Amino acid sequence: MAAIERGSDVLIERWLMLPIALGLGYALSHLWMYGYLPTPFFYEPLDTWMDWFNTAQFAHRPGAYDLWGTIYPPLSFIILKFTTYGQCYTANFYEPRDCDTYGIVALHIFYLINIVLTAKTLIKIDRRTALPRAFALTAGLPMVFALERGNIILLTYTALLLAYGPLLRSARWRWFFAACAINFKIYLIGTLFAQLLQRRWRWFEGALLATILVYLISFALLGAGTPREIFNNIMYFSASFQAASPLDLMYASTYKPLIYVLEGNGFPVLETLGSRPIEALIFWLPIIIYGVVALIALAALAVAFRPGSVPMHRLIFLSIAAALISSEAGHYTTMLLILFIFMEPWRGFGRIWSIVVSYILCIPADIPLFFVPPLVRESYLSGHPVVVEFAVGIGPFIRPGLILSIVVAMSLVTLRQVWDQLQADGWRSPWPWHRDSGTVAAPTGQAR
């Protein structure tokens, strides 16, 4: 391990770029030869960029919350209203994509901005490892998949990076971008409460106020999206997951779709595995997930005792992980976790494991286990009908486990750092009324 820490870590990370580049090359060559992107990309080849254009549809006409049932706060629709061409949007959901060149260009500009900001961020953190980590993040499966879907997660990533990365000095600008991230994806609200673990009271108050103001302004501009509407749609979305296609298993980031399939929905797995393994998995998988969430809570509680013992980006990572591992939001959300893993130094087993696993999660390829009978589908990227072979690969069965493993690893690293801090400075009360509330112990053992 010492030899790795003295410099060969850069060489290892550059080698870890290779399977990502090969996977991306395979996906593009598959698109060239067969007219559609292979597993683990989205199974409907006609649906390219449609997350972007479906959202834009309701940015230019009413019905986002009552007809479409969206869970997006109003900000997403306001942004798309100004980055898409309104005259293209008709009742046909696919027609605007052929008309709105402006919207397609804007989508790819946001992706290019993410490439530049990611590179600048990682260079500022550690120039030695910036190249492989930036390449993995921006050319790897989560972000390329988000680009293929045209998902608003691309804008969320931009806002999150600016809020919690090292590029901005102004606290007010950081509050603004933290507020934008939450108003794009409401499950990021936990990133605000992570500030309280470091006793950053003013940061919490400023970002919370900014979040409310961004919501109120975007709500006033859109004229829809009350808290009640958003809450009701979230409840309905969560309850109706069972109606989702079992093909969603192909790009899952949690075990929720797998549990749905194991319960006998979609694929005849009972005949393949037998009832006892199925029953064991259905019983244990939720317990494992809740156990990992409990471990995150334990790590957060430990940090409350020694706020300066861990870096802020770790707490942001854990707050996002707590939201993502307990609900299925799509594999592209993994980029939000990997961003903060790549802010960690190559030191100690837990951090090294998490970094290596993050590279693996970025590989845009899969090993097929079995195929669904081929179907003829219209492909948007090729512009003609293609014969599509839907495949369920090994990824849906191992990716959620790998994601859980990095969450466990970083939770344990956090607990270890708090323990080391306790040993270094001895016991003292963590509560601010027992000591000067403005004093926070200096972090130990941090390279960044």
**Residues in contact with 381: Cβ distance below 8 Å, sequence separation at least 6, in sequence order:** 31, 35, 36, 37, 45, 48
Rounded distance between C-alpha atoms, residue 258 and residue 280, angstroms: 13
Reading the block at residue 30, the tokens are 């598959």
Query: DSSP label at 4?
Result: I
Q: Rounded mean pLDDT of 422-445?
A: 54
Q: What confidence score (pLDDT) does residue 413 get? A: 97
pLDDT score of 387? 92
In tens, the pLDDT along 146-170 reads 999 999 999 999 999 999 999 999 9
pLDDT of amino acid 422: 83
367 pLDDT higher than 70: yes
pLDDT tens for each residue of 370-398: 777 888 999 999 989 999 987 778 888 89
Least confident of 120-134, 290-304, 334-348, 420-434: 420-434
Q: Rounded distance, CA 392 to CA 254, Å?
A: 15
Residue carrying structure tokens 């919370």: 208
pLDDT at 272 over 90: no
Q: Where residue 430 falls among pLDDT bands split at 50, 70, 90?
A: low
Question: Which is more confident, 43 or 154?
Answer: 154
Residue 374 CB-density burial (10 A; 0-12 exposed, 13-18 middle, 19+ buried): exposed
Confidence of residue 440 (pLDDT cuts 50, 70, 90): very low
Q: Are the beta carbons of 107 and 49 closer than 8 angstroms?
A: yes
What is residue 437's predicted lDDT score, i.e. its pLDDT? Answer: 42
Q: Which two tokens stand for residue 177?
A: 């971008």
d(CA 110, CA 182): 18
Q: Give me the pLDDT at residue 266, please.
A: 57
pLDDT of residue 265: 61
The CA–CA distances, whole Å, from 128 to 10, 12, 75, 270 equal 7, 12, 37, 49
Average pLDDT over residues 186-207: 94
**Cα–Cα distance, 267 to 397 (Å, whole number):** 14
Concatenating the DSSP letter of every residue in 345-405 gives -S-SHHHHHHHHHHHHHT-----EEEEPPPEEEEETTTTEEEEE--EEESHHHHHHHHHHH
Cα dihedral sign for 268, 402, 332, 389? negative
Name the pairing type of β-strands 391-393 and 368-371.
Answer: antiparallel
Average pLDDT, rounded, for the chain: 87
> For residue 441, what pLDDT band results from cuts at 50, 70 and 90?
very low
What's the pLDDT score for residue 137? 97
More confident: 162 or 327: 162
pTM comes to: 0.90
Per the model's pLDDT, the better-predicted residue between 369 and 232 turns out to be 232
CA distance 136 to 15: 11
Task: Name the band, by pLDDT with cuts 50, 70 and 90, for residue 438.
Answer: very low
Quick one: what percent of the chain has pLDDT higher than 90? 65
What pLDDT is attached to residue 428? 63
Q: Is 349 exposed, middle or buried (0-12, 13-18, 19+ CB in 10 A)?
A: exposed
Tell me, letter by letter, the H, E, C secondary structure of 228-280. HHHHHHHHHHHHHHHHCCHHHHHHCCCCHHHHHHHCCCCCCHHHHHCHHHHHH
How far CA 178 is from CA of 4, 55, 394, in Å, comes to 36, 22, 35
The whole-number pLDDT of residue 248 equals 65
Chain centroid to CA 205: 25
Query: Is residue 429's pLDDT more than 80?
Result: no
Answer yes or no: is pLDDT of 404 > 70.
yes
Which token pair is 448? 């960044």
- Please report where in the chains the tokens 């600008």 appear, as a residue: 173
**pLDDT top residue among 243 and 175:** 175
Query: What mean pLDDT do residues 43-65 have?
Result: 92
Tell which residue, 50, 146, 145, 63, has the closest CA to residue 96: 50
Q: With 90 as the cut, is the pLDDT of residue 416 above it?
A: yes
pLDDT class of 9 with cuts at 50, 70, 90: confident
pLDDT confidence of residue 411: 97
Tens-place pLDDT, residues 99-112: 999 999 999 999 99
pLDDT of residue 251: 75
Predicted local confidence at residue 134, as pLDDT: 97
User: For the residues of 195-228, what is the DSSP string, one character each?
Assistant: HHHTT-HHHHHHHHHHHHHHHHHHHHHHS---HH
